[in-house]
Amino acid sequence: MKVDGKDIRPIWLDEDEKTVKIIDQRLLPHQFAVEELKTPEDAIRAIRDMYVRGAPLIGVTAAYGVYLAVLQDQDDIYLIDAANRIKAARPTAVNLMWAVDKMMSAVVSADDPAGRIAEAKRTAAGITAFEAENCRMIGVHGLPLIKDISRKKGGGEVNVLTHCNAGWLACVEYGTATAPVYAAAEAGIDVHVWVDETRPLNQGSRLTAWELGKYGIKHTVITDNAGGHLMQHGMVDMVLVGTDRTTYTGDAANKIGTYLKALAARDNNIPFFVALPSSTFDWTIRDGVAGIPIEERDPCEVKYVSGLAGDQLQTVLIPPENSPAANFAFDVTPARLVSGFITERGVCEASEKGIKGLFPEYGS
């Protein structure tokens, strides 16, 4: 996507073909820094410590993590161990496991070292291109939903509420939840986004607001608890979120707090759509609440908040120092609360039948 006139992605392979470069998202929006990954351990740290985050980007970073491992050593035992360590970096986004498995089956199909390196590079680039195109198509398929609301409002402003960051920073291009918003803006639709700040790490107020602002999309940052009030007062036309893992039955895990937005949307008759590429479906889990692993992160992320003080990034403590905190990073919105999924193949109902109708290769 364009930032200040320059095309930029959150990850790319350097010209030396030995270094993967990423935007360090921990520092945005106040500092723009590029970090270099040279080993699989660097990729693991970048995923675990959230230099990169968002399901599709976690997958792409993991793919390049496998590539960096193959550059170091092409032996099966080393590679299987590296792949397992990369997969363990974060538990919820299934794109991580999907990408590593795809990389490993491509790599082991070659039996000489040079062939393995070539296969790893080709496959990581392929996964990157696949995710960029998926998000473009999510925009194409999501646009009619926003167009329809705009038409019903006689061309009046369409208010979309989103949670966390499911934008291009979380993907490669366009984003998932934001792709239809960008497509609507390009189509001349008057669109405005309510951006949940998304505690504790504020991916909404730091990242989504930055992305939308750079693109010139009208947006307003709100507290995580404001959505229900706005919905009751007719100020939200549609909720549009991403997901880290969605079961083949339509239960969608996303950033903590998404479930509460879905409940409020249902109570107020507001459409609640989840946008995702096929790489985010989990074809093995039936019951999302019981089966999707929910990451619990360091409680310090809840207790401390970072921001700009003067011209310095600073971290401050909010609760009493000795108060315990808990940091559940995701929750699961059951399929019954989801109005539909926007995927690269089209929009479907949130049910096994709807999902497998679009992806029949996973059984009927």
Smaller CB distance to ligand MRU: residue 244 or 251?
A: 244
CB 331 within 8 A of CB 253: yes
Which of the stretches 54-62, 188-196, 225-233, 348-356 binds ligand MRU when contact is defined by CB under 6 A?
Answer: 54-62
In the complex, least distance from residue 203 CB atom to ligand MRU, rounded to whole angstroms: 5
In the complex, least distance from residue 198 CB atom to ligand MRU, rounded to whole angstroms: 8
Smaller CB distance to ligand MRU: residue 50 or 106?
A: 50
Can residue 54 be called a binding residue for ligand MRU (CB under 6 A)?
Answer: yes
Residue with tokens 């999707």: 292
Can residue 243 be called a binding residue for ligand MRU (CB under 6 A)?
Answer: yes
Binding-residue pattern over the window 183 to 212 for ligand MRU, x denoting contact by CB under 6 A: --------------------x---------
| Residue 157 amino acid letter | E
| Residue 246 amino acid letter | T
Strand partners, 316: 305
Q: Which residues contact 167 (CB under 8 A, 6 or more apart)?
A: 54, 174, 175, 177, 178, 207, 208, 211, 212
Distance of alpha carbon 25 from alpha carbon 344, whole angstroms: 26
Smaller CB distance to ligand MRU: residue 242 or 288?
A: 242
In the complex, least distance from residue 170 CB atom to ligand MRU, rounded to whole angstroms: 4
CB 65 within 8 A of CB 44: yes
Can residue 55 be called a binding residue for ligand MRU (CB under 6 A)?
Answer: yes
CB 270 within 8 A of CB 345: no
Closest residue to ligand MRU using C-beta atoms: 242
Distance of alpha carbon 255 from alpha carbon 245, whole angstroms: 11
CB 60 within 8 A of CB 128: yes
In the complex, least distance from residue 311 CB atom to ligand MRU, rounded to whole angstroms: 26
Can residue 255 be called a binding residue for ligand MRU (CB under 6 A)?
Answer: yes
SS3 351: coil
Can residue 96 be called a binding residue for ligand MRU (CB under 6 A)?
Answer: no
Which of the stretches 4-12, 61-69, 239-247, 337-345 binds ligand MRU when contact is defined by CB under 6 A?
Answer: 239-247
CB 145 within 8 A of CB 151: no
What is the binding site for ligand MRU (CB under 6 A)?
Answer: 53-56, 93, 164, 166, 170-171, 175-176, 203, 242-244, 254-255, 329
